[in-house]
Amino acid sequence: MAPVSRASTRKTTTERARSRAPLSRVDPAGTGAGLRRAGERSLGPGLDLASRLQARARALRGHLERRDALIELVRALNATLEPGKIADQLIDRSASWIPASCWAVVAADHSGQLAVIGDRGLAPEMGPAVHDIAAWTMSRGQELASADLRADARVGVHDTVGAVMAFPLSCRGHRIGAIIGLDRAPSSREPRLPAGTLRAVRVLLEPAAVALDSALLLKRAEALSVTDDLTSLYNSRYLNQVLRRETKRASRSGRPLSLLFIDLDGFKAVNDTHGHLAGSRALVEAAAVIRGSARETDIAARFGGDEFAIVLPDTGGEGAYAVGSRVREKIAAHRFLAGAGLSIRLTASVGVATLPDAAASSEELVQAADRAMYAVKDGGKNGIQAAAPAADN
């Protein structure tokens, strides 16, 4: 065997160092881009999630344990109070740590239902699987690693997702969401992180959970401030804000703006006969009918008592009249309080007003719709009427 010279030894050592250098390189901004590039160079084609994760394990732990990784993550998360933007930042960082092809951040919305706050590469058919993964992770407060969700009974069998890694987002003593990385293809084994790396990920997810929770709490508070407590429609305060905003926009663009005023006929008899609790339930049902009759772009609100309103942007008198007619017909066809063993029928009087035909300001639009609605009530109720042109008023 030929002896190895010092020069050749030095060369071999240098070459080894160069070959290892990209794996430990960390970008100055702490975003993980350097880690991602290094990992991509070390991964061969066709590797599953578990193999890709193992290939970058050494570089990953070194990156996560750096102090600047935590600092940069906190700075990025605290730069916004929008839950969606926080979710995007979290996905961007997580995708640089774990090489999953699809990502989702799931949390409870203001109604308490789980919703995807942010996603990357997620297909619509993956929705049920993502929901069940998040529910499992949040209920147990545990990470979920699955080689193949199609054969994993823990969250129910889903044929749209293969390998999965999911982490709970917890802060202030409760679980507020989950971040989920997944592949369509299964892995040969569970994609797991070494214990030390997993601890580092948990440390980085703590400030992310706090930032997301704070943003969600702010959004819920904002939603409550403009939502009617009983019906969950918008309240009159928000209705006035929308009317002022949409009136200005309509005046600038030259587009029409319409308003419907809806009053339930004979609603007082429900309270008198069946009590105020039954009356409140009837209002909730009426609100659901009204919301279901409006279009996606319309804004439905409870004006007060048994009066409701719908703002219809970019809608002229004819279109507004059609929406109002649909509301009136559906209310007349609805059997109120059927769940309580009753079958109460109600009707509605609907007034329609359009800017600029019947009004020139938001205040005049409200007054015109209100007059039209009372004209229906004076004429026998259960009808719809358009407000007279402004010149006639």
Whether residue 230 is contained in a domain is answered as no
End residue of a domain, out of 198, 223, 248: 223
Rounded CA separation 84/205 (Å): 16
pTM score, whole prediction: 0.64
> Does a structural domain hold residue 231?
no
190 with 256, same domain: the answer is no
Residue 88 and residue 124 in one domain: yes
**259: CATH:** 3.30.70.270
Residues 21 and 127 in one domain: yes
Contact 296, 313 (CB under 8 A): no
Q: Report how far Cα 292 is from the mean position of its chain's Cα atoms.
A: 20
Closest-CA residue to 48 (of 199, 163, 214, 173): 163
Same domain, 37 and 179: yes
Q: Are residues 205 and 261 in the same domain?
A: no
In a domain, 6, yes or no: no
Q: How far apart are CA 229 and CA 206, in angstroms?
A: 33
Same-domain pairing of 199 and 55: yes
- The answer to whether residue 392 sits within a structural domain is no
In this prediction, residue 393 carries a pLDDT of 54
Q: What's the confidence (pLDDT) of residue 26?
A: 30
Q: Are 124 and 248 part of one and the same domain?
A: no
Q: How far is CA 355 from the centre of its chain?
A: 33
Q: Are residues 292 and 328 in the same domain?
A: yes
What are the residues facing 174 on neighbouring strands?
171
Q: Which run of H or of E encompasses 175?
A: strand 174-182
Mean pLDDT by 10 residues, the chain (393 residues): 39 39 34 46 66 85 80 88 94 92 91 90 93 95 94 88 95 92 94 91 92 92 89 94 95 95 95 94 97 95 96 96 96 95 95 94 95 95 92 58
> Does residue 5 lie within any of the structural domains?
no
Alpha helices, DSSP H only, in the chain?
Answer: 6-24, 33-42, 49-55, 57-64, 67-77, 83-97, 127-140, 195-225, 236-253, 267-274, 276-293, 317-333, 362-378
**9 in a domain, yes or no?**
no
299 and 244 both lie in a single domain: yes
Given 178, 197, 223, the domain boundary residue is 223
Beta 144-146 vs 383-386: how paired, if at all? unpaired
Residue 21: helix, strand or coil by DSSP? helix
Same domain as 214, residue 84: yes
Does residue 2 fall inside a structural domain? no
The residue among 168, 197, 223 that closes a domain is: 223
CATH number for position 166: 3.30.450.40
Number of compact structural domains in the chain? 2
Domain assignment of residue 368, yes or no: yes
Separation between Cα atoms, residue 197 and residue 63, nearest integer Å:
10
Q: Does residue 167 sit in the same domain as residue 262? A: no
Parent domain of 215: 16-223
**Which pLDDT score is estimated for 67?**
78
Shared domain check, 301 and 374: yes
